[in-house]
Structure 1
Amino acid sequence: MNNLPKPLWDPRPLTPTNMNNQQQRQQQESTIRRTKLYRRRCHGNRKLRRFKNKCRQRGMNKEEIQRLIQDRCQQQEQQIDFRMDETNDDIELHQPITTTTITKSKRIIEKRMKLKMVLKKFNNRLPIYLKKAPNILIQNLSLQLQQKITNKKQQRYLYHRLQLLDQLHRIDQYRYLWQSYLNLGSTSNLWPIHIQKKMKSKNIESCVQYIEHHLNELEQQYHQATNELNEQAKSCPIKLKPFDILNQKLKEFVQLQRTRFTEKLNIQLTRHKNYIHENELYQTVLHHIHTDEQKSMIDQLIYIRERQLEIFENYLRLETRISMQCLPKELNRIENIITSIRYRPRFRNFLSIQFQQQQYKLIQEAKRNCLNLFLHAYEIQYQQFFKEFQCKNNTCSNEISLLECFRIYINYRIDRLKQVLYYERIPIFRRKLRRQRQHLKRKGKFFKQIQVSPYVILDLQRHPFTTTELKYLSRGPTYIRPNQSTLCPMKQRHKQIQVELNDMLSKIKNGLGNTTRDGYPSISKTASVYKLYEDRLRTCLTCQYMKSLPFIDQLRARKELKWIKSIRRKLKRYKLILRRTDKSGVFHIGHMRDYEQKAHSYRKTTGAYEELSTNPLNDIYRRVIDLLNQLRSQNQIREWQKQKLIPVQNKIELAYMYFLPKPHKKGTPLRPIINTIHAVTARISKFLDQKLRPLFDRYVRSTTIVDGVDLLHQIDQYIQKGYFNSSTLFITFDITNLYTMLPQEESLKILDEFL
């Protein structure tokens, strides 16, 4: 049996060589499979693809998209070249050139280290206008120098020159500050508080030595900066302006960008001067003190006012927390209790949105009530200390001269300490809160809380807006975007100046030319005084519109304009409507179909409005003109009245209806408003109101409530007459669709009977 040959299909044992070959093949196949699985397919640049998709959605063709991509690439290359040239110049200035051979990896690491060292050396002292947006900086420089700067060599030279001039300006301002400290301290023997804290003593010699040492260091830095400026001036490009004019323009540009820095140092110097004057006043108070009882009484009064100032500081800290949206931790418990009631439907619908809004309002109102209690407690404590101070002050009213000197001193001291609060302690507290929030965000422990400040109302299931855009909208309709004219071209600015000038002149001429002015003579519209006034007004408006702004303000204006454009695009793309609310004073964002449904239901229930298919503006205008001509032909109105009532054809518009949401009511109903400012009959209605209003007020004013202030006055009169008692009832009611319920024909009959 053992000698029988083995069948062919019986697997034979593999030799060691066959085993190694098979393992190698299996390993190769597995590696091929892995590479196929984990191979990342290249689909091109993602940013480029997204940019192309956005351009296609805006309706651009291939040629326009390609041209935009080329322009974008050129701008990026210019920015990269500009930044790399800056860093390379810095490296050449501060790093010696070595000829040792280094491997590629070491060379890359060394370059990174050099770049970091240079950036660390400069950027700690460089302001924002030299760190961010070099393109905007070059544009501002070209406007300041009145010359186009397109050459890279010129840009590098000007950028490096600005760094040196900024450094020189900063050192010069510090020199002036510390020299003022030395001059004031040598005359009054009083030194700044922060220097005394560093020296840990009030010794005059040590403070003088410290300030003189610091002044010597600043003097050395100033000479070094001037030498660098003189050396750098030798490499000035030829195509730029004459060097004296160029240097003067650059100095003015640096002074403009450093206005906040100079203001900060001036505030420090004025605070030190106030501190010296306060000590002088205290010496006069001590001169009038003759007994220990007077001294203890003055100390007690100072202690009471300082405790009162501590309460005021806590009040300001709470206000800072509210403005920075970092509420106290005690208020989080309220939010946790209310948010524990969860309502999570399977699909988000109108009921879920309404529940979420009600929950948000409930938490917000609860937090506001708690904060009102905190603020009210601070106010009560502040008033208690004030009453205690008044009582102590009244007990020692015999010494008039001492009390008068003390009153001047304590008022001056409290004002100085309030300035310290506003400009020193509260900004430090604000920075601490900002760092604390950033630290929590890094650790992932920062949770968004419902704030008490007004917020935009989103009546949507999902929204496309970012947090910055929502915060910007939360500023409300009363917020005015600053420095809007800086981003407009020069032609548009000149047009705005001319429009404002004509408007102001026409109003002034009409007001001064009125013959019915009380006791003042009228001035004719052709007087020569108006020409002089027009020239002065034009120069003032030109200075306001054309003056250059600091770089930070320009960046803010550009950011806000960018947010506005983004919000408008999203509103148009997703068919959303942004409206001011009826009473809340915030913005409301809702879907277009919801507005259309509510408007349609309102027109259907009232039956007072119809949707027009054609524009009847010309027909209405013709009928009004015919009616006025008929009244004039029948001699019922005079010619000047006719000219006053005739509508201006270039300015008339068809009256239209729009709606404002009412989020304070259930279901967010809409309030209809008819815009008739530029309607054909607007002048006639104004004329009738001027004629009928005095007659109506004469007979009906006593029973009419105009507004809330008028209601308070009438209640005060009601109380003075003795009608107000415990059984008096205040009843309020709301009438829906009041104006559409009033019949027009009956209203005209009632008016006819009244007249």
Structure 2
Amino acid sequence: MLLSLYYLNTLIPFSNEQLLIINKGLKYIPPCQSYFYYRQPIDKIIQREYNRLHDENVKNLTDYTFSTCDKRAVEYFAEVKNLLEQLYKKPLPTKLKRHARYMYNMIKSMQRKLQKANIAVGQTDKSKLFFFIDAQEYQEKITNYMNKTNAYQEITSGICPLADNLHLVILLLDHLLQRNQITKEQYKQMYPNVLTLELAHIYFNLKVHKPEMSVRPIVASINAPARKISGFLDELLTPIYNYVTKDITFINGIDVIRKLNEYQQQGHLTSTTLFVIFDVADLYTMIPRDGAIAALTRFCKKYSVNGKIGNVNIDTIIQLACVVLDTNSFAYKDKYYRQIKGGAMGSPFTMVLANIYMLEWEQKLIRHQQRHNEIYGRQIY
């Protein structure tokens, strides 16, 4: 049985062997493909991989005030370089090399077939399946989504916004540090890594669990200038939100059943009880920016201690939140865009901001249900 595929109005021009490769799932990594994919000398490949590992580890060492000139650090990096040379220069066993080349040829063949048949491939939303769809139909779904939400504005100047976004982030962090509104440690925690900096890009997962088969935009912003600020705000606010909403949050299906069982034992379940579900479509990309910031401000004021969340005052939180939203820019199909509604899916702060906004909207319904001994809950995923 093929469990890793989802076809949508299209036929897949693959052989049985190629379908079996796809069925290995999204996490499958064909072995030893660097021997065939990279057209560079092996020494350049080794140096590139070493530089990447070196930069990542240097950052970790400096974060913990560990000198990179320490004898142990020097020996460690020498061992890393030596290990990479062994792994890349050691001849592959004949059987493994034959299998690696076979996989390389199969994958290249699959790519050619998909391109010839004009078929788009991607990951389904909220599941670990590949989807296959006519590329034109897929693009129509994306275009319809962008037109419907009006959440994205093209940067018509054609100038990459990365430098401006970086400037905004650094300017704010420097300002907050100078005014002692954040600590030196928090400054380092949120400061962007200029060595790995890159503009975000957007891709679209297919919502196969929805009747209309729409798309969900994911902004890949892991190396964007404000990504670390987004993570900082998420870590600061999410524990408070989770605590405040613990009684109105469904963790999973088992949690729903448990609460229904309590509801029945209390004598509230009757033959006329109504079970109602509703879905807020495109929540993260549709919340109004000003409304979300206002809701965040009220949330922070309500649950702050002496005007602070942790050791960060409310005004600082709002400034950080605004710079995350202001720098929501990405590349798509050789153009640059700015998100002007909601937050970017893929940014850690977006979920907690949307949830805080929804919490205000839910209050009237929550109070109504509580007054009548009924259940209200929201599952977040």
TM-score by length of 1: 0.34
Alignment match, 2:105: 562
1:619 corresponding residue in structure 2: 164
Displacement of 1:560 in angstroms is 0.9
Deviation, 1:599, is 1.5
**Counterpart pick for 2:8 among 459, 462, 486:** 459
Secondary structure at 1:578 match in 2: strand
Aligned pairs for 1:226-375 within 5 A? none
Taking the aligned partners of 2:287 and 2:99, their CA distance within structure 1 comes to 51
1:590 — aligned with what? 133
Q: Paired residue for 1:528?
A: 71
Query: Partner of 1:746 in structure 2?
Result: 291
Counterpart of 2:123 (choices 580, 596, 619) is 580
Whether the aligned pair in 2 keeps the contact of 1:476 and 1:585 (CA below 8 Å) is yes
How much has 1:561 moved relative to structure 2?
0.7
Alignment partners' CA distance in 2, 1:633 and 1:455 = 53
Q: Give the alignment partner of residue 494 of structure 1, picking from 37, 42, 46.
A: 46
2: CA distance between counterparts of 1:547 and 1:740? 49
Asked if 1:665 is matched to 2:214, the reply is: no
Identity of aligned pairs, percent?
Answer: 29
Aligned twin of 2:26: 477
Deviation string, structure 1 residues 301-328 (Cα, Å, up to 9, x no partner):
xxxxxxxxxxxxxxxxxxxxxxxxxxxx
Deviation at 1:596, TM superposition (A): 2.0
1:699 matched to which residue of 2? 244
Residues 534, 717 of structure 1: CA spacing in aligned structure 2 closer, same or farther, 3 A cutoff?
farther
Q: Kindly provide the CA deviation profile for residues 532-552 of structure 1, in whole angstroms up to 9, marking residues without a partner as x.
A: 444445444444443333322
Deviation at 1:670, TM superposition (A): 1.5
* Cα shift at 1:504: 7.1
- 8 Å Cα contact 1:505-1:534 kept in structure 2: no
Q: Report how far residue 734 of structure 1 moved.
A: 2.6
Superposed, 1:129-148 pairs within 5 Å as none
What does 1:716-755 correspond to in 2, within 5 Å?
723=265, 727=269, 732-755=277-300
How far apart are the structure 2 equivalents of 1:459 and 1:716?
Answer: 37
Tell me, yes or no, if structure 1 residue 647 matches structure 2 residue 192.
Answer: yes
Partner SS, residue 29 of structure 2 = coil
Letter aligned with residue 297 of structure 2: D
Judging by fraction of residues, say which structure has more strand.
2
* C-alpha contact 1:497 1:542 (8 A) present in aligned 2: no
CA displacement 1:203-249 (0-9 Å, x = unmatched): xxxxxxxxxxxxxxxxxxxxxxxxxxxxxxxxxxxxxxxxxxxxxxx
Give the CA deviation at 1:629: 4.3
Q: Give the direction of change, closer, same or farther, for the CA distance of 1:598–1:557 in structure 2 (3 Å limit).
A: same
Q: How does 1:355-504 map to 2 (within 5 A)?
A: 452-461=1-10, 463-487=12-36, 490-495=42-47, 498-499=50-51, 501-502=53-54
Q: What SS does the aligned partner of 2:205 have?
A: strand
**2 CA distance for matches of 1:655 and 1:585?**
23
> Which protein has greater RCO, CA pairs closer than 8 Å, 6+ apart?
2
Note the alpha carbon deviations across 1:263-307, whole angstroms, 9 max, x for none.
Answer: xxxxxxxxxxxxxxxxxxxxxxxxxxxxxxxxxxxxxxxxxxxxx
Describe the SS at the equivalent of 1:610.
Answer: strand
Q: What amino acid maps onto 2:269 in structure 1?
A: S
In structure 2, give the amino acid aligned to 1:476: G
Instruction: Write the letter of the residue equivalent to 1:607.
Output: N
CA 1:724/1:469 → structure 2, altered by over 3 Å: closer, same or farther? farther
Q: Kindly tell me: are residues 602 and 623 of structure 1, through their superposed partners in 2, closer, same or farther at Cα, counting changes over 3 Å?
A: same
Aligned partners of 1:577 and 1:591 also within 8 Å: yes
Q: 1:619 to 1:549 in 2, by over 3 A?
A: closer
Secondary structure (helix, strand or coil) at the match of 1:735 reads coil
Query: Considering only aligned residues, what root-mean-square deviation do their CA atoms show, in Å?
Result: 3.7
Distance in 2 between the 1:741 and 1:532 partners? 52
**Aligned mates of 1:678, 1:471 — CA distance in 2:** 34
2-structure distance, mates of 1:667, 1:676: 28
SS of 1:672 mapped into structure 2: strand
Can you list the C-alpha shifts for 1:352-394, whole angstroms capped at 9, x where unaligned?
xxxxxxxxxxxxxxxxxxxxxxxxxxxxxxxxxxxxxxxxxxx
CA gap of 1:530–1:660, structure 2 versus 1, over 3 A, is same
Change (3 A) 1:589 1:644: same
- Tell me the SS of whatever aligns to 1:477: coil
Measured in 2, the distance between the counterparts of 1:647 and 1:454 equals: 40
Segments of structure 1 that go 5 or more residues without pairing to the other structure are 1-451, 515-522
Q: Which amino acid is the alignment partner of residue 587 of structure 1?
A: F
Residues 643, 568 of structure 1: alpha-carbon distance in 2 compared, 3 angstrom cutoff: same
Post-superposition offset of 1:622: 3.2
What is the CA–CA distance in structure 1 between the aligned matches of 2:127 and 2:23, rounded to whole Å? 12
> Structure 2 matches for 1:187-206, cutoff 5 A?
none
Q: 1:477 is matched by which residue type in structure 2?
A: L
Q: Aligned in 2, Cα 1:538/1:635: closer, same or farther, shift over 3 Å?
A: closer
Q: Distance in 1 between matches of 2:54 and 2:267?
A: 58
The code of the aligned residue for 1:546 comes to K
TM-score by length of 2: 0.63
The alpha-carbon distance between structure 1 residues 574 and 652, as it changes in their structure 2 partners (threshold 3 A), is farther
- Structure 1 residue 738: deviation in Å? 1.7
SS in 2 for 1:680: coil
- Offset of residue 640 of structure 1: 5.3
What's the offset of the Cα at 1:745? 1.6
Which residue of structure 2 lines up, in the alignment, with residue 684 of structure 1? 229
1:524–1:718 CA distance, 2 compared to 1 (3 A): farther
Q: Distance in 1 between matches of 2:69 and 2:258?
A: 51
Question: In the alignment, is residue 546 of structure 1 matched against residue 89 of structure 2?
Answer: yes
5+ residue gaps, structure 2, are 301-381
Pairs within 5 Å for 1:105-184: none
715 and 736 in structure 1: CA distance in 2 versus 1, 3 angstrom threshold? same
Aligned-partner SS, 1:556: helix
SS for the counterpart of 1:647 is coil
C-alpha distance in 2, partners of 1:531/1:648? 22
Higher fraction of helix: 1
Deviation at 1:558, TM superposition (A): 0.4
Larger Rg: 1
Identify the residue that residue 61 of structure 2 maps to in structure 1: 509
Query: Match of 1:659, SS?
Result: strand
Task: Label 1:584 to 1:497 Cα distance change in 2 as closer, same or farther (>3 A).
Answer: closer
In structure 1, give the amino acid aligned to 2:149: T
Structure 1 residue 721: deviation in Å? 10
Amino acid at match of 2:198: E
